[in-house]
Structure 1
């Protein structure tokens, strides 16, 4: 006498010829979201450059204490190595953006002003100040500096 019950009697056999129904595509309605855009105008979005090493629970108080702001900056986790800070005042957000780039746990942190776009790679810019040394005096022209800057990346 065999003690095993075959899969077919249990109803666990692999169904043949079955395919799930196709997913229905839904079109989002036209929507006036200008109020949401205005509500998020004082928001910075950030991303870790090494999420395996950098920890969000310690980054938020580290940055908000370092900034020495007039108002508050409330940080929150957005998942997948991203986070946001909401500010009370425009001058605070400008101060934070002016003092970039930032680093935490010996890795860079990307901080950008929130934009109403959908992209897996947003935020993705780290601005740097670059000091040029050793340019001979007879090459100190605005055109020369702009050409060097454009070779390195986007010149602002």
Structure 2
């Protein structure tokens, strides 16, 4: 094919701007990516079995292996994904499971699994040190404090 013939063909091309698939972008809000922190690979069947028993979703949950240590969990309703994400952390056979919400503008390989959420419990803190500021200061030694929940003692400091 001559260059002039190729130029003629491409000059007849038209440019279209297509809207995004709303169905796909909605479903991405219902996807969590998970990565167990472990030196051993976890099989899809084991991971799926454990999360179904632990998470007890009301609606169907699909699990997919993305690579040897990364999983995609597709939920069918926001009630289930919100419950699972809010009740972090989770574990798979004793290994911490880092969960991240997936944003469609990122390839799953770009998701940062280096940070995770943990609950920290403080026991037997003397009464004269029990204040929100002190509890936040203790928690901040491990990272960002997302919330403080005082159990026992009527929820008072």
TM-score strictly above 0.5: yes
Alignment of 1:88-103 (within 5 A): 88-103=76-91
TM-score (norm 1): 0.69
Structure 2 gaps, min length 5: 1-16, 147-157
Return the match for 2:122 from 104, 123, 132: 132
Corresponding residue number in structure 2 for 1:13:
none
Asked if the contact 2:36–2:91 (Cα under 8 Å) also holds between the matched residues in 1, the reply is: no
**1:120-153 C-alpha deviation (Å, 9 max, x unpaired):** 4523333111111232211211111111111211
Query: Larger helix proportion, structure 1 or 2?
Result: 2
Counterpart Cα distance in 2 of 1:59 and 1:126: 19
Mapped to 1, the partners of 2:61 and 2:101 lie a distance apart of 13
Counterpart-to-counterpart distance in 1, 2:55 and 2:86: 11
Deviations 1:14-56 (A, max 9, x none): xxxxxxxxxxxxxxxx996574433300101001212524222
Q: Name the counterpart of 2:154.
A: none
**Residue segments in structure 1 that go unaligned for 5+ positions in a row:** 1-29
Aligned counterparts of 1:90 and 1:134: Cα–Cα separation in 2: 38
- Alignment correspondent of 1:152: 142
Count of residue correspondences: 127
| Structure label with greater radius of gyration | 1
SS at match of 2:59: coil
User: Paired residue for 2:66?
Assistant: 78
